Amino acid sequence: MTKGNDEFAKKTKGRQRIEMKKMSNERNLQVTFSKRRAGVFKKASELCTLCSVDMAIVIFSPARRVFSFGSPSVETVIHRYLLQAPPSYPQTMQDIIDAHCTANVRQLNAHFTLLSNQLEDEKKRGDELGRYMKAAQAQLWWASPMEEMNKAQLELLKTKLDALKKLVTRQAERLLTQQNPVLQNRVFDGSVICDNRFNNFGRYGPHDGSSGFY
């Protein structure tokens, strides 16, 4: 390993274990709270779907904002907890309605969990595609948008395009002369083919009774 690689290896610490104490940086604290809260709610939704449990989570943010998750709902779970009443089989119409609502909520939770997993997979694929595009642009810089090129790259691109234009012009001339030997005395300027007879037409007009064109 080279000296430069040794220095790079010393600077990078890799994935570190976060120390379990309150963060002093307010910005990092808010970002971590948002990510961890979403993770807790996602795991809770998966647990409710997989194990068919009722659950309620209430979280107060550092800014004293309230966030909650409930299956079938926070109110239902808290009400059961306060009454200390075990779930019973439906006996009244209201019980039947509540049971139906609970089943619907669990079905929605399952669908939400599925969509969340799909969204996370798509984000990972998007990140991988972004990294691939950056690597490709680094190797094939001329494929990048011109707005992202520096002055040296723009000048080099212009030189390459000029050379390509000349190459295309020569190739077009060669193909035309191969197809029609009469064109060998003509001049090709990239868009118009003309010869002395065509140039003299406007000056002297037709001299043999013809239209002046081939």
Provide the pLDDT for residue 21: 81
In the predicted structure, residue 45 carries a pLDDT above the cut 60: yes
What pLDDT score was predicted for residue 63?
Answer: 83
Indicate the pLDDT class of residue 9, thresholds 50, 70 and 90: very low
In the prediction, which pLDDT does 160 show? 84
pTM exceeds 0.95: no
pLDDT at 156: 84
pLDDT at 8: 43
Rounded Cα distance between 27 and 141, Å, is 36
**Candidate from 15-24, 125-134, 161-170, 176-185 with smallest mean pLDDT:** 176-185
pLDDT tens string 21-41: 888 888 888 888 888 998 898
- DSSP letter assigned to residue 18: P
Q: What angle do CA 168, 171, 174 make, to 5 degrees?
A: 150
* More confident of the two residues 86 and 149: 149
Q: Among 8-22, 28-42, 74-88, where is mean pLDDT lowest?
A: 8-22
Comparing 211 with 52, which gets the higher pLDDT?
52
For residue 194, the model assigns a pLDDT of 47
CB atoms within 10 A of CB 56: 19
Q: Residue 57 has what pLDDT? A: 92
DSSP assigned state of 143: G
What is the CA 121 to chain-centroid distance, rounded? 12
Q: Which residue is associated with the tokens 């002055």?
A: 151
Higher pLDDT among residues 10 and 75, named by residue: 75
Residue 181 pLDDT class (50, 70, 90 cuts): low
CB 73 within 8 A of CB 109: no
Domains of the chain as residue ranges with CATH: 25-139 (3.40.1810.10), 151-198 (no CATH)
Provide CB contacts within 8 A for 149, sequence distance 6+: 141, 157
3-class SS of residue 89: coil
